Chain A
Amino acid sequence: MKPLTETEGMTTTADETAANPVVGIDQTKGDFQYKVDYAFDAGTGLTEDTVRYISSVKKEEPWLLDFRLKALKTFREKPMPTHWATKDLENIDFDKIRYYLSQGQKPKRTWDEVPDDIKKTFERLGIPEQERKFLAGVEAQFDSEAAYSNIKDIVAKQGVIFVNSTEGLREHPEIFRKFFSKVIPTGDNKFSALNSAVFSGGSFIYVPKGVKVAQPLQAYFRINAENFGQFERTLLIADEGAEIVYMEGCTAPKFSTSTLHSAVVELVALKGAKIQYITVQNWANNVFNLVTKRGVAHEDAEIKWIDCNIGSRLTMKYPGVVLKGERARGEVLSIALANDGQHQDTGAKMIHAANNTTSNIIAKSISVGQGRSTYRGVVHIPKHLKGCKNNTECDALLINTNSRTDTYPAISVRGDKNATQHEASVSKVSEDMIFYMQSRGLTEAQAMSLAVNGFINDLAREFPMEYSVELKRLIDLEMEGSVG
């Protein structure tokens, strides 16, 4: 643990002359690192002192420190879920991870105030430009804390709150505490417990009654340091009749050692509210990405998760919706691409808890080379409910013969007044299909990315334009790399 006065410089520097097409995110573009001095560093390894350090630099109230310490205990007590999940989880060495690194706890409101070394990173990732073009607000997290957080005046005037989690706790405790950790309790799983113990950063969003935010809010999560764990915590509340689109992107440089990203995201859609939560993650392929995401939809509310998982070494993520009020709607649209050495273990959970609730899951996975994709789904409709409907579709595309895909749908629908529909398909990009496209002049890589883009085409159309263009470009890059 470092005294607060010391700073530490990173030894790696990036090649700043590398190509820099400033749009969105991609892995090659994320693979750079600037030297950064951290004013706050919780050191390596996880003890009670680590948790106390984080809580003290954030000047948290005692209840929150208690919450964190209890969570640490829960984390230690819970076994790794390797009885159902991959054994690769055992390769995470919690003693070698750094749990908190920052230059300060208060994000800047203008890019000019952001320290140069951090600003350069986000400029290179194109964040300020996207903000000007089409976003209502941006939060840019660098390792443990947001370096920048701003919301357009017009949105702020409507009463919309968009700050990082520390500020949310400090400035809006009455709303924060009411909803915090209610959707995803500490003990939900081992990694939600870990996040609860050491969380830092992430967004706190509140959209007041009846406010419909026209442009999306965006958060960008950047891991910069090696052996680092990023544990952001996002809490989004849409009050009655409110509407909001929230998007998040993430990148990290490629390190030789593994990095951990373990977020918790809680959404609350009150009566008649609509939340759309879009993720395009593109982690470097040494990142363990273990994320818990869940929303509660009250009466007539709608929660839609759009989840794109590209990159990472192992992703385990099953966005869920608890359909708590009558006529609530939940939807998960997910795309996962597993390349060589990657395992995308993704899916969705739909818990029906009121009459006439509907849910829809469409999951598409692509396995390239030795990449492995797994779909896990839970749909639960208890016997006493009526008029509930679920539709589940999982489609897998295999690019090479040694690619692997598994599907584990768990659908429990009781009672005779509910309906569910489940379809699954596995298709292969055949040699003949690639030859056909090549015989028209497309290279093997172009042919493969066209096939993959075709496969996800109907889902990608649901994305905001900027993101579907970005997704297509990411797939082109992945396919480029997969052809020898």
Chain B
Amino acid sequence: MSQLVIHDLHISIGDKTIVKGFTLTIKQGEVHAIMGPNGTGKSTLAKAIAGHPDYTITSGEVLLDGGSVLAMEPDERARAGLFLAFQYPSEIPGVSIANFLRAAVQARMTEGEELDATGYYKRLYAKMDMLKIDRKFTSRSVNEGFSGGEKKRCEILQMAMLEPKIALMDETDSGLDIDALRIVADGVNAQRKSAAAPGIMLITHYQRLLDYIVPDFVHVMHDGRIVKSGDKSLALELEAKGYDWVKQEFAAANA
């Protein structure tokens, strides 16, 4: 079984340190919700682990199945089994979803191996049906002119097609109405049930998403690290008491 080990991770942008000693292990099949107020370093964490060039990892380690990913290019990390579902997915004008995903699937094949086009489309259509995405979408340019909900569904579709070992989901619920949220959650839950269930780091502000994607663990992040961990009841407690409660506890502990 695969696992992602994040150990004492420090991340900075320019001179500013954002993540200050983040430690967490995610095993395949588990869902870890990362909650916390704005500006606490949640998105930074996800992007840096995926290898975004703007972020510098100043110390700490990220191990996928025991091997460090930090020297790897973002595409090598992706092929090794990491997946980042973006909060703001980029538009790629002129490149259809079908061609984009096909290129991504092909990139994972060994040299000389040929993509079975029929099998690929069959799989693609099945996943699209599950996510209630119209088949006409395959010929549309990636994310171009998509609504917020369409973009997020397109992210989950890519995740379903690429079958990562570990998925980092960055505010997948933002910009979604309740119906879109339900569809996206169904898509994620279907993957949790599959034989190749990924380990998921689910970054969110709101407890609402966790009603639909029920986490195994909930971690509260503050000032660049985890300050409190628990099960799903922690999310409910947070909702009732607000983040100030965590902040105060944190301040008291450090006093």
A residues near B (Cβ < 8 Å) are 427, 430-433, 435-444, 446-447, 450-451, 453-458
Q: How far is the CA of A433 from the CA of B52 in the complex (A)?
A: 11
User: Which residues of B in the span 77-95 have a Cβ within 8 Å of any Cβ on A?
Assistant: 77-79, 83-84, 86, 89-95
Given contacts A430-B90, A433-B90, A450-B100, contact A438 B95 (CB under 8 A): no
Contact of B162 among A432, A440, A447, A454 (CB under 8 A): A440
| B107/A436 in contact, CB under 8 A | no
| B51/A439 in contact, CB under 8 A | yes
| A441/B162 in contact, CB under 8 A | yes
Quick one: closest A residue to B47, CB to CB?
A: A435
Q: How far is the CA of A438 from the CA of B94 in the complex (A)?
A: 17
| A453/B95 in contact, CB under 8 A | yes
Given contacts A431-B53, A435-B52, A435-B74, contact A440 B104 (CB under 8 A): yes
Quick one: closest A residue to B77, CB to CB?
A: A439
Residues of A contacting B: mostly: helix
| A440/B93 in contact, CB under 8 A | no
Question: 5 new A-B pairs (CB below 8 Å) besides A439-B50, A441-B108?
Answer: A430-B90, A436-B86, A440-B104, A441-B107, A457-B95
Quick one: closest B residue to A397, CB to CB?
A: B93
| A440/B92 in contact, CB under 8 A | no
Which residues of the other chain, B, contact A451 by a CB distance below 8 angstroms? Answer: 92, 95
Of A433, A436, A443, A446, most buried by chain B (CB within 10 Å of CB) is A436
Quick one: closest A residue to B50, CB to CB?
A: A439
| B86/A453 in contact, CB under 8 A | no
Q: How far is the CA of A447 from the CA of B103 in the complex (A)?
A: 9
| B141/A454 in contact, CB under 8 A | yes
Q: How far is the CA of A440 from the CA of B101 in the complex (A)?
A: 8
Quick one: closest A residue to B141, CB to CB?
A: A454
Quick one: closest A residue to B105, CB to CB?
A: A441
B51-92 to A contact mask, C-beta < 8 Å, 1/0: 111100000000000000000011101110001101001111
| A438/B92 in contact, CB under 8 A | no
Contact of B107 among A427, A432, A443, A455 (CB under 8 A): A443
| B103/A442 in contact, CB under 8 A | yes
| B104/A441 in contact, CB under 8 A | yes
Q: How far is the CA of A50 from the CA of B212 in the complex (A)?
A: 83
Does B158 belong to the interface (CB within 8 Å)? Answer: yes
Q: How far is the CA of A432 from the CA of B52 in the complex (A)?
A: 8
What is the total of A-B residue contacts with beta carbons within 8 Å?
83
Contact of B90 among A436, A442, A456, A458 (CB under 8 A): A436
| A455/B73 in contact, CB under 8 A | no
Q: How far is the CA of A442 from the CA of B100 in the complex (A)?
A: 10
Contact of A444 among B54, B73, B89 (CB under 8 A): B73
Closest chain A CB from B160 CB (angstroms): 13
Which residues of the other chain, B, contact A437 by a CB distance below 8 angstroms? Answer: 90, 92, 100
Q: How far is the CA of A457 from the CA of B83 in the complex (A)?
A: 28
Which residues of the other chain, A, contact B51 by a CB distance below 8 angstroms? Answer: 435, 438-439
| B100/A441 in contact, CB under 8 A | no
B158-172 to A contact mask, C-beta < 8 Å, 1/0: 100010000000000
User: Which residues of B in the span 195-238 have a Cβ within 8 Å of any Cβ on A?
Assistant: none
Q: How far is the CA of A442 from the CA of B91 in the complex (A)?
A: 16
Which residues of the other chain, A, contact B83 by a CB distance below 8 angstroms? Answer: 439
Given contacts A441-B78, A441-B79, A443-B75, contact A436 B104 (CB under 8 A): no
Which residues of the other chain, A, contact B141 by a CB distance below 8 angstroms? Answer: 454
| A442/B92 in contact, CB under 8 A | no
Closest chain B CB from A395 CB (angstroms): 10
B231-254 to A contact mask, C-beta < 8 Å, 1/0: 000000000000000000000000
Which residues of the other chain, B, contact A440 by a CB distance below 8 angstroms? Answer: 75, 78, 100-101, 104, 107, 158, 162
Q: How far is the CA of A451 from the CA of B142 in the complex (A)?
A: 11
| A442/B75 in contact, CB under 8 A | yes
Which residues of the other chain, B, contact A438 by a CB distance below 8 angstroms? Answer: 51, 73-75, 78
Q: How far is the CA of A431 from the CA of B74 in the complex (A)?
A: 12
Quick one: closest B residue to A443, CB to CB?
A: B75
Q: How far is the CA of A457 from the CA of B89 in the complex (A)?
A: 21
B173-190 to A contact mask, C-beta < 8 Å, 1/0: 000000000000000000
Quick one: closest B residue to A431, CB to CB?
A: B53
Closest chain B CB from A119 CB (angstroms): 31
| B107/A450 in contact, CB under 8 A | no
Contact of B94 among A436, A439, A447, A456 (CB under 8 A): A456
Contact of A454 among B50, B79, B92, B104 (CB under 8 A): B92
| A450/B95 in contact, CB under 8 A | yes
8 contacts between A and B (CB under 8 A): A433-B90, A435-B50, A435-B90, A438-B75, A440-B100, A440-B104, A453-B95, A454-B92
